[in-house]
Structure 1
């Protein structure tokens, strides 16, 4: 009788009495609104050059803050290790930004010269040209620190790099201030916009303001390199670098 009874599952390979389905996990990864969980987001972030570069920047300037503070005394056994780590991370960042000047060349190529004013084009030339030259010279500085270029040339190369960086940030801040004014004009004239559009506009405005703060912090460090000896205290410079690193890390994280 039992042999003639119908089999509810004719495929013995899927008989759940022999092959029970695996238990569902008790804890599921928390997904973001865009469908990416934290580890997936982190993987995307670390796959980008800027993502790793900014984490290295945080590591370097956090170490600089420690070195500039009274936490690590002059004769503390960790002092030489922290100095070696900071210097090594600094060289690593220069190597990691190899060829990054190309993005500034492409940014200049992508400008619509016909529809832009001469003052705007001038600021773009300062911003992208200064930054592009900075990244290019930084490659030579890296080659000098790595030993391929005579190290006697390093002081001149580093000074040239600092000047290019400072000029680039001057143009970058000017452009972002203009963009903030434009966003303000759009806000004041978009009373009939949807709540979602207003939210996006405010988020864009917040990120642009953070970018301005970051550029000011980086410009302060570049100015300290130019005016060596009469620069602000090391603790101020290190804190500015750490602030810039945190802001840029946040921006890159949000953009992933």
Structure 2
């Protein structure tokens, strides 16, 4: 009797699962660097690491390397804006595909995706002003509008993620009660424990995402205030940018 082969619909899924497990570091890196966000976040790490070195005065002001680092940081900043061309469409689609199960959720999604989308849209004109195609006199106004849009977007994003975190806690509480019930019945609960583990990972990533948004929001406020205020000193702002870059790099690495 011939061995029955698995249904065609299951074969690709199994194959992909095995390929994912067997994928080595360089293959993973290739997939990561093929994405727009992968390159963007590596540039972000480079930029804010340079800013920390420059703002902390580690290098003497007279050193030629210091001037080269300033030029590098500025060039990377302009390059990152080029990588955002058309990125606002991603937010438009996210807004279109959002699940508006309540008025509050609808408002928060609109604030989050709408603010971020408008920020990326304005950033295209900021890039054009930085490259010289648009008169530089508009650069300051465009950057201010961009910073306000970014700030509003992150407020919405943080609110949504806090709601998601509460929902995860509720799901985890339900699972704890279910596991205790199964224990009392002397039943197996391996599936529930696996779900608990996944929820724990999900909660951790959500908390990291909130830290990232708070860091970016802090930088947006700094841009709105033109860096005025003790809390908005260059070292703190650069450190917030680096924290945000490292977290987003970690998330993007796991997702590809």
Question: TM-score band, normalised by the shorter chain?
Answer: 0.7 to 0.9
- RMSD of aligned Cα (Å): 1.4
Which runs of 5 or more residues in structure 1 are unaligned? 1-30
Tell me, what secondary structure is at the counterpart of 2:175? coil
Indicate if the aligned counterparts of 1:218 and 1:241 stay in contact, CA closer than 8 A: yes
- Cα distance, 1:76 vs structure 2: 1.7
- Cα distance, 1:229 vs structure 2: 4.3
1:215 to 202, 205, 213: 213
Given the alignment of the two structures, is residue 37 of structure 1 paired with residue 24 of structure 2, yes or no? yes
2:5 aligned residue: none
Give the distance between the partners of 2:83 and 2:94, measured in 1 at CA.
20
Matched residues, number:
224
Structure 1 runs of 4+ with >6 Å offset: none
1:176 aligned residue: 161
Label 1:167 to 1:38 Cα distance change in 2 as closer, same or farther (>3 A): same
1:127 aligned residue: 112
Give the distance between the partners of 1:136 and 1:112, measured in 2 at CA.
24
CA deviation digits over 1:177-225, x for unaligned, max 9? 0000000000000133522211111111100000000000001110000
Bigger CA radius of gyration: 1
- Cα distance, 1:77 vs structure 2: 1.5
1:186 aligned residue: 171
Label 1:196 to 1:222 Cα distance change in 2 as closer, same or farther (>3 A): same
Indicate if the aligned counterparts of 1:32 and 1:38 stay in contact, CA closer than 8 A: no
- Cα distance, 1:69 vs structure 2: 1.1
CA deviation digits over 1:98-120, x for unaligned, max 9? 1000010001110233xx11111
1:148 aligned residue: 133
2:194 to 186, 189, 196: 196
Tell me, what secondary structure is at the counterpart of 1:71? coil
Which runs of 5 or more residues in structure 2 are unaligned? 1-17, 180-190
1:248 aligned residue: 248
Give the distance between the partners of 1:195 and 1:223, measured in 2 at CA.
42
- Cα distance, 1:33 vs structure 2: 7.2
Give the distance between the partners of 2:20 and 2:73, measured in 1 at CA.
37
1:99 aligned residue: 86
Indicate if the aligned counterparts of 1:187 and 1:198 stay in contact, CA closer than 8 A: yes
1:60 aligned residue: 47
Give TM-score, length-normalised by structure 2. Answer: 0.85
1:83 aligned residue: 70
1:27 aligned residue: none
